[in-house]
Amino acid sequence: MLPAAASASAVSSAGSPAPFDQGRYQVRFEWGAAGLERLAAADVVVVVDVLVTSDEASAIASASDALVLRGGLRNAGAVADAVLAEQGRRGARASIAVIGAGAGERTGLRFAVEDLLGAGAVIDALTARGIDHTSPEAAAACESFRGLRGAVRHLLTASATGQELVAAGRRDEALAAAEIDADTAVPVLRHRPAAPPA
């Protein structure tokens, strides 16, 4: 993980965009609030926190003045439809930051396979709707989901976070979170009305 100082607003000494901001791509992918800071500003932020709502999701939502949606496996298609509708409302191409919340607030942010798959599902749904100018990071998350789609239920229950839920007698929650496109609701964590097109 890069230090938070490598923020999206950072520029190289030559005046070009920072190499980690993914600003030349419409769809970007990063991890946590620090990752959001590294990215170029986006019109829409999709927070992916598949199994457990973490403090990292509240921090991500408050760190952006964009439209912030919550997405994952269960509502990937609905999130993509909401992003497409926002783009239409704006009358211009919208930039999208997909942010994996990660897990492990007690031990610091760590990789969470469930959030990688959830982010990949959202990016895959965006791609299916023609929003496909993705960064390499976003493309890799998308392909992870595509390649592992058939194993999502097993991966969610077998993951570290899934095993925590299983041990707590909450296996059904992990299985429910693995249902792809089971929901049409898209929680809005933060809304900033966009200015109408000029």
Handedness of CA 50, 52, 56, 57 (dihedral sign): positive
Q: What is the pTM of this model?
A: 0.86
Please give the sequence-ordered ranges of beta strands (E in DSSP) within the chain, or none if there are none.
Answer: 27-31, 44-48, 67-71, 96-100, 188-190
Please write the tens of the pLDDT for every residue from 129-172.
Answer: 999 999 999 999 999 999 999 999 999 999 999 999 999 999 99
Bridge partners (DSSP) of residue 100 are 31, 48
Angle at 172 between CA 168 and CA 174, to 5 degrees: 80
